[in-house]
Amino acid sequence: MSTTLLHDARILTMDAAGREIERGWLLVEGDTIRALGSGEAPPRTEAERVDCAGDLVMPGFVNAHAHLAMTLFRGLAEDIDDRLYRYILPLERRFVTAEVVRAGTALAAAESIRGGVTTLADMYYFETQVGRVLAHAGLRGVVGQTIADFAAPDHADMEAGWRRVADLVAEFEEHPLVTPSLAPHAPYSTGLATLERVVRWSADHPALPVQMHLAESDLEVRWARENHDATPVRAIAPTGVLRANLLGAHVIHVDERDVALLAENGVRAATNPRSNGKAGRGIAPVERLRAAGIPVGIGTDGPMSGNTLDLFAQLAPVSMFAKLLAGSRRPLPARDVVRMATVEGARALGLEARIGSLEPGKQADLLRVDLSAARLQPIYDTHAALVFAATPADIRATMVAGRWLMRDRVVETVDEAKAVADARQIALAFGAEMRRIDEGTAP
């Protein structure tokens, strides 16, 4: 079992007491944090000693909502209102194969490791491929196989979708890093009968999370009103799908009764401010959700919508949006935003017993962050520096389950050059198809 002793580090534990250590050490044995403390490190001659030279050591970020393989759609047809129906869905149907999902996810894995994300919640197609790529990269993932009533790239009908779910569970149920998950696409695109089946599936798989887009768009609000004379949350409540294994992504269009209903049933949430902002969808009421006791993690959404997969790009928007809603500087202080990005994100994914903070017995998922850049100086408050000024370039090293995925800013577990080259190759095909769509010559 490998043993690593990090010393001379500034440590942000993100434990319940919010303990910060000015100069301390942290001992990793195998995949687990064994001990940590302040001052001089204990002599452990058998451990690999890493002098952190004053760098910050903190828990890895939890990306609570993503569509990793959509790196391949990053920046495609930005600012065009009907991009989803005009380009994205046709491209997905024609081009998204197991191979393409592997390529897009590999690029996403490299970007995530550079961005300090150690755990990701994903929803997409060919999800066993996503699980395999993440496992190979050494990342921790909650990988959600999408099921939807519309024709999806990996299932022609709903039964085929359920078979994909069963395969995913069979492959990853006992995996140390990858947790299989079921991802009904959204209320309007799956329908209530399918959600009832989701509830039966959950009864058979009580430990596995369900992920769903929830209360995200005007389209969905209209669907709920016209078909069920209700809000999206109350439209689906009768199916029983609102339970403690549900992670709702976005959760923008909710009223007081919806919030109470979600809280009573232990539902968790993932907010995606850049994606929501860029689409002009609105601002999620994060303060109200948290005040009701709902754990709210921070997600990037897919790079088609949110462009990047690092949480730094999301942290300031999370804070700004809450302050704009309230008309005050007070809501969501930097300290709370860092909590949401780490330990609260872990709660949103149901993984709080294993990750999210640096405490003995927890998994060694951590970052070494170089705080020396001019743009971070001076540092009166580490949380404020992380939320409002740091970028992925400040991360020096990323560890998951005791394994270094990046050291000295070199990614060690993903062939980054190949991932970039593969993505560019696929993008050429996408670009050519877009031109055919514009010319009306697409098949």
Q: Which stretch binds a copy of itself (CB under 8 A): 17-25, 146-154, 226-234, 275-283?
A: 275-283
43 near a copy of itself, rule: CB under 8 A: no
Q: Verify binding: residue 91, a copy of itself, rule CB under 8 A.
A: no
Single out the segment in contact with a copy of itself by CB under 8 A; choices: 116-124, 236-244, 287-295, 380-388: 380-388
Of the residues 320, 352, 412, 437, which one makes contact with a copy of itself according to CB under 8 A: 320
Nearest-5° Cα angle at 301, 297 to 332 = 35
Site membership for a copy of itself, residue 61 (CB under 8 A): no
Asked if 332 and 318 count as a contact pair (C-beta separation under 8 A), the reply is yes
Q: To the nearest whole angstrom, how small is the minimum distance from the Cβ of residue 372 to a copy of itself?
A: 7
Does 74 interact with a copy of itself (rule: CB under 8 A)?
yes
With tokens 């909590």, the residue in question is 339
Quick one: 166 or 421, whose CB is closer to a copy of itself? 421
Distance CA 131, CA 137 (A): 10
Instruction: Considering only the stretches 50-58, 230-238, 353-361, 370-378, report the one whose residues sit in contact with a copy of itself under the rule CB under 8 A.
Output: 370-378
From candidates 199, 279, 437, 442, binder to a copy of itself by CB under 8 A:
279
Q: Token pair for residue 133?
A: 């790529």
Identified binder of a copy of itself from the candidate list 114, 268, 362, 396, rule CB under 8 A: 114
Q: How far is the CB of 274 from a copy of itself (least distance, A)?
A: 7
Judged by beta carbon, residue 71 or residue 194, the one nearer a copy of itself is 71
For residue 79, state whether it binds a copy of itself (rule: CB under 8 A). Answer: yes
Decide whether 156 or 393 has the Cβ nearer to a copy of itself.
393
Burial class (CB in 10 A: 0-12, 13-18, 19+), 179: buried
Residue of 170, 393, 410, 432 that binds a copy of itself (CB under 8 A): 393
State the residues that interact with a copy of itself by CB under 8 A.
Answer: 71-72, 74-81, 83, 107, 110-111, 114-115, 274, 277-283, 307-310, 313, 316-317, 319-321, 323-324, 326-331, 333-334, 372, 374-381, 383-385, 388-389, 391-393, 416, 419-420, 423-424, 426-427, 430-431
